[in-house]
Amino acid sequence: MRVLLAEDDAMIGTAVRDRLRGSGLAVDWVQDGRAADAALAGGTYDLLLLDLGLPGREGLAVLKRLRGRGSTLPVVIVTARDAVDDRVAGLDAGADDYLVKPFDLKELEARLRAVLRRRGGHASSVIEHGRISLDLASHEVRDDGVPVPVSPREFALLHALLERPGRILSRAQLEERLYGWGEEVGSNVVEVHIHSLRRKLGPDLIRNVRGVGYRIPEDPA
């Protein structure tokens, strides 16, 4: 899961980035509206967390340009407490949800989950596939009901593959989902995580597609 965070407040930005990275999300952080535009035009994201009061270009303008390009990227806007009109304008311009500053990081995560769930067509925050279940709220993985401890990045990798079973994701696509800007990516880090997941969840869950990438079969074994 790769998130673009557009926020000019250094304290809030740091707190949000660190919190989301701690949950295994890849987070790119920009601090003005033009940089947000550029990142959105050039990158592949699963979600945009957009402060409306941005220097350079207002958040609302960023959102309108994004929707104007036909993008359906899920967007959660962030506004100040008294900015009711901004929130209304943001929702009307195509935002999926909003948060009011100051917000609790737990609420932020819950709202992001809710937006992604709705967009993914999932009614609950638990993804089930055969014996495996993935709880996006508690970050718990279960195999036949038995909890299996996984690292945040192993969780993120499993989530990426289980979102659409059958779809093949390349190593580069998986790296993009796991690591934000400025984070060191080891050369065989995806293989290491896959190896570890196979050790924990069985060798047949994640399949290699030679020369292309990885997938989880559509029909669970």
Q: Which is nearer to Ca ion, 28 or 154 (CB)?
A: 28
The C-alpha atoms of residue 139 and residue 22 are separated, in whole angstroms, by: 11
**Rounded least distance, CB 13 to Ca ion, Å:** 9
Q: Which is nearer to Ca ion, 98 or 155 (CB)?
A: 98
Cis peptide before 149 (omega within 30 of 0): no
* 182 touches 21 (CB < 8 A): no
**Rounded least distance, CB 202 to Ca ion, Å:** 47
Q: Which is nearer to Ca ion, 95 or 197 (CB)?
A: 95
Which sign does the torsion angle of CA 10, 11, 12, 14 carry?
Answer: positive
Provide the residue count of the chain: 221
**Rounded least distance, CB 72 to Ca ion, Å:** 25
Buried b (16+ CB within 10 A) or exposed e, 157-191: bbbbbbbeeeeebeeebbbbbbbbeeeeeeeebbe
> Cα 167 to chain center, whole Å?
17
**Rounded least distance, CB 83 to Ca ion, Å:** 11
Contacting residues toward Ca ion, per CB under 5 A? 8, 51, 53
CA neighbours closer than 13 Å in the CB half-sphere of residue 113: 20
Q: Which is nearer to Ca ion, 12 or 189 (CB)?
A: 12
**Rounded least distance, CB 77 to Ca ion, Å:** 11
Q: Which is nearer to Ca ion, 99 or 158 (CB)?
A: 99
- If DSSP states are collapsed to H, E and C, what string results for 173-187? HHHHHHCCCCCCCCC
Say which amino acid occupies 136. L
